[in-house]
Amino acid sequence: MSGIIEARFRTGFKGGFSLDIDLRLPAAGLTALFGHSGSGKTTTLRCIAGLNRAEGTLRVDGETWQDKKRFLPVHRRPLAYVFQEASLFPHLSVRKNLEYGARRIPDQDRRIQFGQAAEWLGLSALLDRRPANLSGGERQRVAVARALLTSPRLLLMDEPLSALDHKSKREILPYLEHLRDALSIPILYVTHSPDEVARLADHLVVLDKGRVLANGHLTETLARLDLPIGQDEDTGIALEAKVVERDARWHLMRVAFPGGSLWIRDHGQAIGQKVRMRVLARDVSLALERQDASSILNILPATVTGSVPTDHPAVVLTQVRLGHPLPGSNTGIPANQNDRTIKHIDGTTPLISRLTARSSEALALSPGKPVWAHIKSAAVLE
């Protein structure tokens, strides 16, 4: 089927690790493969690349790369692979390294031009340098551009930032964000950084012990309370919003998303522009009444959808969805997929709130309960 990557693999190693996955992924945008060390992220990528000969099926946008009858070897799969460390030719300039990437592709098959790749990765001023005279982040940018110049139909990236220091990571992230939006090919991106997931991913796969724990849209998957991706200080959701209004006097802008909007610090984006935001669980408090006489600017109606304990008995995480149950409906009812009072909040944005177990009990926060989410802070990711 078109527009989809279907990847089904079963494989194992002598040490006892087995991989058994069945994934349907969008054949566009950036899909993050997230999981703890040893969960099978790299093995999955290697199976997709044809570097590991796993039993299974791989179809990319309607084209079969592997099934029971055929196995395209790695050099016949139109993909590019970016590793943790850039392996550039040390004796060649950046320009020559890039030209090497483009060399194998006949002109008529070239989908990404040299100038385009150099511009996307900000390499124009570096073309005459040798790799030894580049920072780690610059070397990785060259490696990504070189990969793109092979005109792949799929870009695989295996923890491309993990060997970089904090400053270099910050420098390279905007290039990757731009690339995600500009490229028409899908990117599969392995990481164990929740931060990179929030900033870069459109779609998220969570792996654990060689199995798929979750596979879904970024905001929805990050909002799940049953996954190992959260539960710490940085737990929260990430979402895409659109700038809809600004208040020049107070340097604020209003950003809208399914089910609501927030006033946040103005970062100068144009009206209509998309921004990616993060709302952390520790910045969301829940109340039964709307508390307007407070310093909090953003107060949104929401409905409780679930709650889980955390590592500390004093703290729980509660999931809500924006919107109140319909007027006149019986509210304190448990969540039920067929209940029309719950259904109307399907599709609105989920939030997670970190609160004490004592408050949760005092407010009787159970599924179906209407609340007001007071959002202390929300930020554009940049």
Ligand X SMILES: Nc1ncnc2c1ncn2[C@@H]1O[C@H](COP(=O)(O)OP(=O)(O)OP(=O)(O)O)[C@@H](O)[C@H]1O
Answer yes or no whether residue 40 interacts with ligand X by CB under 6 A.
yes
**Contact letters for ligand X, residues 53-92 (x by CB under 6 A):** ----------------------------------------
Of the residues 9, 30, 34, 35, which one makes contact with ligand X according to CB under 6 A: 35
- The alpha carbon of residue 218 and the mean position of all alpha carbons in its chain are separated, in whole angstroms, by 5
Residues 172-211 that bind ligand X (CB under 6 A): 192
CA atoms within 13 A on the CB side of 8: 7
CA distance 147 to 132: 19
Of the residues 11, 31, 39, 298, which one makes contact with ligand X according to CB under 6 A: 39
Answer yes or no whether residue 108 interacts with ligand X by CB under 6 A.
no
Residue 351 · residue 319 · CB < 8 Å: yes
Q: Which residue is listed with tokens 């099926």? A: 57
Answer yes or no whether residue 235 interacts with ligand X by CB under 6 A.
no
Answer yes or no whether residue 305 interacts with ligand X by CB under 6 A.
no
Segment lying near ligand X (by CB under 6 A), choices 41-49, 67-75, 163-171, 340-348? 41-49
Segment lying near ligand X (by CB under 6 A), choices 10-18, 212-220, 241-249, 335-343? 10-18
Answer yes or no whether residue 160 interacts with ligand X by CB under 6 A.
no
CA distance 9 to 20: 6
Segment lying near ligand X (by CB under 6 A), choices 36-44, 56-64, 97-105, 224-232? 36-44
Residue 165 · residue 136 · CB < 8 Å: yes
CA distance 366 to 307: 8
353 CB-near residues (< 8 Å, 6+ apart):
281, 284, 285, 286, 317, 318, 319, 320, 373
- The alpha carbon of residue 140 and the mean position of all alpha carbons in its chain are separated, in whole angstroms, by 20
Q: Measured between alpha carbons, how far apart are the two ends of the chain, in Å? A: 35
Task: Please give the size of the binding site for ligand X, defined by CB under 6 A.
Answer: 13
Answer yes or no whether residue 10 interacts with ligand X by CB under 6 A.
no
Of the residues 11, 43, 140, 298, which one makes contact with ligand X according to CB under 6 A: 43
Answer yes or no whether residue 38 interacts with ligand X by CB under 6 A.
yes
Answer yes or no whether residue 263 interacts with ligand X by CB under 6 A.
no
Nearest distance, CB of residue 184 and ligand X, angstroms: 27
Of the residues 1, 2, 37, 312, which one makes contact with ligand X according to CB under 6 A: 37
Nearest by Cα to 30 from 194, 167, 205, 165: 205
Nearest distance, CB of residue 14 and ligand X, angstroms: 6
Residue 89 · residue 80 · CB < 8 Å: no
Nearer to ligand X, 24 or 36 (CB): 36
Answer yes or no whether residue 250 interacts with ligand X by CB under 6 A.
no
CA atoms within 13 A on the CB side of 36: 7
Residue 44 · residue 20 · CB < 8 Å: no
Positions touching ligand X (CB under 6 A) are: 13-15, 17, 35, 37-43, 192
